[in-house]
Structure 1
Amino acid sequence: MANTATRLLNLIMLLQREPNTPASRLAEALDVSVRTVQRYITMLEEMGVPVYAERGSQGGYSLVRGYRMPPLVLSPEEAVAVSLGTSVISGLWGNLFRTTAQSAMSKIANVLPEEQLREVRWAQDSLLTRGLPRANPGVNEPSLEALYQASRRNQQLDIVYQGRGRAQAQTRRIDPYALIYSWGQQYCVAYCHLRGAMRSFRVDRILSLQLLESHFDKPADFDPSLYLSQDADDRPMTRVSLLFCAEYADLARDYACCWDTMETRDDGSLVVEYSTADLDMARCRVMSFAPKAQVLGPPELIEKIQQTAQAVLAQYPLPPEESADTSLTVNAAPPPTKVSRLNS
């Protein structure tokens, strides 16, 4: 809920953007009464902010021409948001933004009033973000910096890229449109001249790169978020069904955000379903739940899990007396894999 200080700041910005605004419209924008707006106007005048009123049916409140707020005026909530944002950014992008994020926060803290500083200190101690995948430490920082600069300047690159599952690296010329962070990995979304189409390149698989003198024009309507989300329509999806027995139903509910559907059976067990485009990734996630859930389908996923489980047992064989009466049971389930174009 906005406090008085926040509403006063918002009122000043409203008056800067829209001079001669009636009290009724200001009250609606601030979600307060007209009487409260009039009280705020009096408070601003007492603070030295030059507000005047135009009389008549077309009249309203305005700031004296030429008045501007100081270059940096943040509410306590805004200061907290900036502080938390710089902390997350420095963690996700490593050295690319760590120093600048810390520098920006130092500059902001240097001009913040004590009230905002108290809020920032409280937030840093009390509003923590954990569980985000750490940025891949294998990323070459100079390469990431070069990609960032090339994307900013619309500058073409020649890269030597080691694609997943390929025996040999390839040289490709790319137009770097955007950089993406996803689940601990940084990617470059670029137009690939070798393929004649958009591709995503994992930064840690770029073995070397060279900035070129040539430049490119990025389409004005290119939207990296839309490009990534459209992949769901381009790849075949497979429906995965998992059974959690009653003892582990709460585990399934803990991951409710991961399932498309959840059905509770009379015996307390839970059947969940979701769609995936990558059964290999689904296999990895499923194995993390073993043996607390059973894969009901599809058969191809069950077969992949059986093969993996047998390979694991081959590495860690049971003693003869235990293996004689032990059968391999595959019953595991993963959270669903979010479909993404970030697969290169």
Structure 2
Amino acid sequence: MTTQRPRRGRGRKRSSALTVQRRLWLISRLGRGAALPEELIADARRVFGESVYPSNALTALRRDFHAIRNEFRCTLKRQLDGRYALTDFGRLTLLHLPDEEMEALAFLVSFFSEGSWPNRLQIRSLLEHIIALLPDKQRQTIQQPITFRVELPQSSTTVDQKLLMRLQRNLRRHAVQFQYRSNYSDEPESHRVAPIRLFVRDGHTYLEAYCYNSSQQVTIGQYITYRVDRIIPGTLQVERRALPPELPPRRMWSIRYRLSPQVARNRDISLWFSQSTVTYLEDGSAEVSAQTGDLWQAEQILLRYRDHCQVLEPPELIEQMRQTIERMRLLYAQDQPVHKG
């Protein structure tokens, strides 16, 4: 008479699978930042349920740390404050990028290592997380010279990152007040505005906002572009009341300008403004029609063409150009000092 063996339950198999899953999750969690043992246990229980760790959770967590170091060859260090940090993914370098994507990654690392770009620190942290998942050989190639660069002017000042984050969180949500160092006043100016958007132009970070109130009367009721590095960080105040869903309409100007044949004959001109349309003329010149909400910026752009651009409308922009050109003429009409060597 044969005796049947009792069927082995599946509890041990499920327990082993959960342990592996828990350890992989710990690596992922530590990849987001260092943490205390108690924090790791609490986070794991929120994800997997209370039973993910037994009553002697700290002992089980130490076994997990030991397995992570020995099975996956991860580098896990205990910091002075008691938090554990993952400094190397060991065998879990899960990315192996093709050469083209490695070149793109190297470009991003180089680009965001310089300048005061918005979110530069967060982007650098993101790139470092990606690099940490690469094999050693690919990580070393990131430091090699790149073959493509973007040459942009760099600001001589830096943007306060906390100020920038507060502005980001309140775009189109809450009005803000701040003191501003303007080129047109010796003393800081007070401004109360509805922040609309942030953008980078010519190496500087700008805030576009609708001005509710200001010590400069000419800006009230206008959409103004503020350089973020000129906002005094400690003066920024955020109002509790939410902004209305619709802000006053922004004034737009139709602009029209002609570019000389020397600029336009190859039909590869830059379209700087929204809703740009181009008409190429028989002599090789081009006439551009477009829309802008910022005549000051339009002037800065079109002056780059020097004597190869003629503004045809609107009259306000033509007058701005005339005044600027006259001031430049007077500046260069003066006798220049002779520097002796």
| TM-score under structure 2 length normalisation | 0.49
Which one has the largest radius of gyration? 2
> Relative CO higher for 1 or 2, CA cutoff 8 Å, sep ≥ 6?
1
| TM-score under structure 1 length normalisation | 0.49
